[in-house]
Amino acid sequence: MKILHKYLLKEVAVNVLLVMMALIAMFSFFDLIQELDTLGKGSYGLAKVLLFVVLSAPGHVYDVMPVAVLVGCMLSLGQFARYSELVVFRVSGLSIVNIAVLLLKIALIFTLVTFLIGELITPLSEKMAQRMRIKATDSVVAQEFRSGLWVKDGNSFVNVEEVLPDTSLLNIHIYEFDENAKLTKSRNAKSGEFENDYWRLKEVSETNFSQDTVQVNQLDLQKWHSLIRPELLNVLLVMPEKMSALNLYSYIDHLSANKQKTTRYEVALWAKLIYPLACLVMVILALPFGFIQQRAAGASAKIFVGIMLGVLYQILNRVFAHLGLLNDWQPLFSAIFPTILFLIAGLMMLYYVERR
């Protein structure tokens, strides 16, 4: 029985990895085609374009892993059915439940790999890729408005005209208000760099407003203690969906402290925690197809339908994330509903196959 288990796990793992490599190669090729539009801009040459594509690959691994598990399992089960190996498995004492448990074991490995890649590798590689690209093309990290980036920091409003790839700031304007929403102080700094636990502002012009007077001071250097941290600025480099759960939680906490809307980042946080579990759901969804193929023709058509289900899962994830933002749904519901829906569909199909 151990030999049978090892054979089953080996065949499925190899097919999943082959499908994953094919999908990553396809998405990397699309990245390359897209980046060719900016080739030659600044110092963004072919070598840096290729480096950008390589650094973006871990993000694709994270995105395609559930689909790779689905298609890989279906290919394996289809092969087993074609050569009547599934019949041999059943005769040897393996029930559908036993086969499902074996497949879930290997899916659990891919679940852990997906989580680790999404939590440790993707945020780092994505940040490196974006920083390298922005620096090479002489761009800025973010300019949400013509006046630059606006951030609320306690009782202050901060305007940063440019955020550089190393998270240093250029042309900073800080407006401080009292509890009655009255402007008490404004500061304009040429640049700012984060050191230890504060921002080191350079070439600062500080204006203090009182009831009767306005006082202006010119300073070469000034310390600025703020809740804004370079880690929080990473959201400008990396899309929320590719940030680590820890950074997302920190950013949500920052937004909550400043009474700002957090729904998008809460949805992304729940998705980071739930998405790797899709690998387990895809096994349940793939399993019925292997047994259906023993009784009916059109195996390739059924595999094609399975692949389309994987694509549909990705689409539903994105659609429900956006619908949740538009309709103010609970972030957990927006993130988990597509996975629950596919789990129910897989269990119903499995029940149908077992009853037949």
Neighbours of 333 (CB within 10 A): 13
| Kind plus residue range of the DSSP H or E element containing 222 | strand 214-224
Give CA 204 to chain center in angstroms: 38
Q: Which SS3 state, helix, strand or coil, does residue 41 take?
A: coil
Query: What pLDDT is stored for residue 300 in this prediction?
Result: 66
**Rounded Cα distance, 85 and 88, in Å:** 5
Say how far apart CA 353 and CA 347 lie, in whole Å: 10
| Structural tokens at position 223 | 């310390």
Kindly compute the dihedral angle of the four CA atoms of residues 311, 317, 323, 328, in this order, to the nearest 10 degrees.
Answer: 180
The whole-number pLDDT of residue 295 equals 47
pLDDT value for 201 = 94
The pLDDT of residue 297 is 43
Instruction: Quote the CA–CA distance of 78 and 100 in Å, as a whole number.
Output: 15
Instruction: Find the helix or strand (DSSP H, E) in which 149 lies.
Output: strand 149-153
Domain boundaries, the chain: 2-137+267-355, 149-236
53 in Cβ contact with 32 (< 8 Å)? yes
Could you give the CA distance from residue 286 to residue 288 in angstroms, rounded to a whole number? Answer: 6
- Tell me what pLDDT residue 230 has: 79
Alpha helices in 139-277 (DSSP H): 230-233, 245-257, 263-274
Q: How far apart are CA 276 and CA 306, in angstroms?
A: 19
> Identity (one letter) of the amino acid at 339?
T
3-state DSSP assignment of residue 338: helix
- Distance CA(68)–CA(306), nearest Å, equals 11
Q: Which tokens hold the place of 198?
A: 């504060």
List the chain pLDDT tens, one digit each, 356 residues: 677 778 888 888 998 999 899 989 999 999 999 988 888 887 888 999 999 999 999 999 999 999 999 988 888 887 787 777 777 777 777 777 788 888 898 899 999 999 999 999 998 898 888 878 877 876 555 555 566 788 888 788 888 888 776 678 888 999 999 888 888 999 999 999 998 888 999 999 999 988 778 888 899 999 998 877 776 676 666 778 888 888 888 888 877 877 778 888 899 999 999 999 999 999 998 888 766 655 444 556 666 776 788 889 989 998 998 898 888 899 999 999 999 999 999 888 888 877 76
Separation of alpha carbons 158 and 172, rounded Å: 7
Report the distance separating Cα 334 and Cα 75, nearest Å.
31
Q: From CA 342, how far away is CA 190, in angstroms rounded?
A: 53
Sign of CA dihedral 318, 285, 21, 29: negative
Residue 112's nearest CA partner among 167, 69, 158, 156 is 69
77 contacts 335 by C-beta, under 8 angstroms: no
DSSP assignment letter at 141: S
Identify the sign of the CA torsion 9, 15, 16, 17. positive
Strand partners, 209: 214
Q: Residue 166 has what DSSP assignment? A: T
Render the burial of 269-298: b for 16+ CB within 10 Å, e for the rest.
bbbbbbbbbbbbbbbbbbbbbbbbbbeeee
